[in-house]
Structure 1
C-alpha cells in the first residue's frame, strides 16, 4: 500500500470514527449545516435550524449540539454570534459518510453523449478531451480539467533549418500532418553541410516510427558507431530528438477550461482573493499535473478538498476527478472539475464518473 493509499485509508477511518460519535440528532443538525453551506454559502443559526429540523428541538438545545460539533472540529463560527459553517474536516466527513450521491439525470446523460459523439466526428483524440473538459465546465459551472499522455504519432519526415547565430530550427512532421518546431543550439564549428547530412540521415530511418522508437534506434546506432556521422552532426541529431521528446511534463497534455465560471459566485473580497490564488495554482501546471497523477493511480472518483493537498492549500478549493481508460483498459488520463469547496458534490461526482467512463469507450 502506497503513502497516498495509507492516507486515504486513515482519512476514511477517521471519518467513520467521527460519524460514530454523532447520535441521530447531532447527525441531522450537522447535515443541515453542511447542506445550507453547500446551497447558499451562508452560516446557519440555531433558531433557523430548530424550525427546519424534522424533530422538535428548542434553539437552546440546538446550540448545545452545535457546541458539541464545534468541539469535535466539524463546524465553526466565522464571526462572533454568527451561525455555523462546516470546517474542512467536517466537509470531508460529510462527503465521505453522509452525502447521498445521486445519478446522472437522463437529460444530462443525453447531453454528455451527444456532445462527446459530435466532438470526435472527423477529428482526433485531443478534440474528445477538450470537449470533455468544456462540457464538464459548463454543466458544473466550475473549471474543467483534463490530463492525458500526448498521443504517440508516427513520423513522416524531419528537417534542420539553419537560423544563423549558432541556432537551427528542428522541424518534425507526423503522418497526420501535424508539425512541431523546436529551436536547437548548434555545436561550435559545425560545417554548413552537416544540417543537410543530419536531415538525410534522420529521414532515411524514422518514417513510420513513433518519436520514442526513432530516438531509441538513432541513439543505439550512434552509441555503436553505426550511424556513419561525424561527432558534431551526431550531436545535432541527438539534440533534435531530445528537444522534440521534451521532459516528462511536456509529454502530457493538460487542458483547463472555463476559468471564468470560478468568478461567478464572488460575494466578498476574500472570495476574490481565493479565486486569484486558484488561478495562480492553475498557472503552476507542474503542481496540477502531479496532483492529477495521484488520481491516475486510483480507481474511481477522487475528491481533494482544501489543504488535503499542497496545490490548493491556500485557495479554499476542491477538485473532483476520475481516471479514464483506453480501449485496452489502460488508464491514459484523468478528468474532472475544480471549484470552491462549496460544490454540489452529489450532482458533480456522478457526472465526472459517467463522463470518464464514456470517454474510455470513445478514446482508441
Structure 2
C-alpha cells in the first residue's frame, strides 16, 4: 500500500526527538485520537514503556511545546497535538498495517453486492455509505460523468429560443439541461436532432460520440440542414463545458459528524465542516488533488483552505478502471482525531475493490 502525504515545509525531523520525547509525544497523540482529551503528565508517566516521573514528563512536554508539536488547551494541565504535530505523527510515526478481517468482510459484503445488477453510481453510493458507517465520519466520492454510456437523448421544446435536453444513461441516470436554440427553429429540427444523435450515441459515451462526429463532420453536415446541425453541436457541447458539470459528488454520513461532541466549540467545528461539505466545488477540488497520488493521500486541518476553519481531516485514494485510468476518488472526512491507522488501509482497500468492480462492468 502506498501512502502519499504532503511534505511539511518546516518542523522537526524525526532524529531530533530522542526516545523519551518520541514516546511522550506518541502517547499524547494516541490519547487524543482515542478520546479527544488532553493528556496530563501524571497519566502519561503511568502509560509510558519506560520509567519517567511526572516532573520529567513535564520537562519533555515543554520541549515538545516549544517545537510546535503540542499545546495546552485553555488552562488545562494536559496537552493536545497541534496540526503540525499530527502531520509529523502521521508522516513519521504512524504504523499502518493491512486492513483487518472484520473491515475487509464488511467492505466486500456491502460494496460487491450482486454482480452485474447495479449501476456505477449505485456502487459508488454504497461505497460512500459503507466508508461512513465503518469510519463514523462522512464518506465521500467524486467521479467523472463524461464516460457514462448513453441510452437515449431527447430535445424537448420549451420556448421559442429554449429547449430541454434530456440525457438517459445506460445505468438509468437521467440528466436535464436547458439549451438555447435559434429563434424560429421548427419542432421538426429538434426531432431530427434527437433521431440523428440516438442513431449514433446509443451504447457510446459522449466523448466517443463527439469524436466520431468530428471525424465524420462533412457527412454529418450533408445529412442535416444548418439549423439542425447547430442543435446537434450545441446538444453535445452543453455536457462538455466546465469541469463541475462533469463531476459527480456523493457524500454520505454527515450525521456521524454530530456524534461524540464534547464541547460547544466541537459543535461549531462540525457546523463549519457541514457548510464545507455543502460547497460542492471546493470538495471536488480537494478530492481532485488526490487524483494525482499514487496511493492514499492524507489532508490534515488547515493544510488546505477547505478545512481551515473546521479543523478536519480527509483520507482519500483514487480508483481506476480496467485500463488503469483514474476515474475517481473516494475517502473519509472527519475530525482531525480520525483513526488513521485503521481508516487508511480501509480507504485503500475500498478504492482497489471499486476499481476491480468497475473494470468488470
TM, length-normalised to structure 2: 0.89
Distance 1:343 1:157 in 2: 44
Matches within 5 A, 1:6-45: 8=6, 10-11=7-8, 14=10, 17-45=12-40
Distance 2:52 2:151 in 1: 75
After superposition, the Cα gap between the structure-2 partners of 1:183 and 1:247, relative to the gap in structure 1 and judged at 3 Å, is: same
Higher relative contact order (CA 8 A, sep 6+): 2
Distance 1:149 1:355 in 2: 18
1:54 matched to which residue of 2? 49
Q: Is the counterpart of residue 104 in structure 1 residue 99 in structure 2? A: yes
1:306 matched to which residue of 2? 301
| 1:132 maps to which of 117, 127, 131 | 127
Distance 1:202 1:20 in 2: 64
Distance 1:302 1:268 in 2: 29
Deviation at 1:226, TM superposition (A): 2.6
Distance 1:344 1:354 in 2: 16
Distance 1:176 1:41 in 2: 43
Distance 2:25 2:268 in 1: 28
Q: Is the counterpart of residue 256 in structure 1 residue 264 in structure 2? A: no
After superposition, the Cα gap between the structure-2 partners of 1:59 and 1:358, relative to the gap in structure 1 and judged at 3 Å, is: same
Distance 1:327 1:225 in 2: 33
Gaps of 5+ in 1: none
Q: How many residues align structurally?
A: 356
Distance 1:300 1:52 in 2: 34
Distance 1:23 1:268 in 2: 35
Cα distance per residue 1:133-155 (max 9 Å; x no partner): 11111011110111222262444
When structure 1 is superposed on structure 2, of 51-60 and 344-353 the one drifting more is 51-60
Deviation at 1:340, TM superposition (A): 0.1
| 1:159 maps to which of 154, 162, 165 | 154
1:190 matched to which residue of 2? 185
Distance 1:186 1:363 in 2: 37
Distance 1:145 1:176 in 2: 20
SS, match of residue 210 in structure 2:
helix
Cα distance per residue 1:215-258 (max 9 Å; x no partner): 33445666888345444333322222222345222222221111
Deviation at 1:77, TM superposition (A): 0.7
2:139 matched to which residue of 1? 144
Q: Is the counterpart of residue 283 in structure 1 residue 242 in structure 2? A: no
After superposition, the Cα gap between the structure-2 partners of 1:127 and 1:191, relative to the gap in structure 1 and judged at 3 Å, is: closer
1:236 matched to which residue of 2? 231
Deviation at 1:317, TM superposition (A): 0.3
Q: Does the CA-based 8 Å contact 2:138-2:256 persist in structure 1?
A: yes
Cα distance per residue 1:160-179 (max 9 Å; x no partner): 22223532222334456544
Q: Does the CA-based 8 Å contact 1:219-1:238 persist in structure 2?
A: no
RMSD: 2.5
After superposition, the Cα gap between the structure-2 partners of 1:262 and 1:163, relative to the gap in structure 1 and judged at 3 Å, is: same
Gaps of 5+ in 2: none
2:356 matched to which residue of 1? 361
1:316 matched to which residue of 2? 311
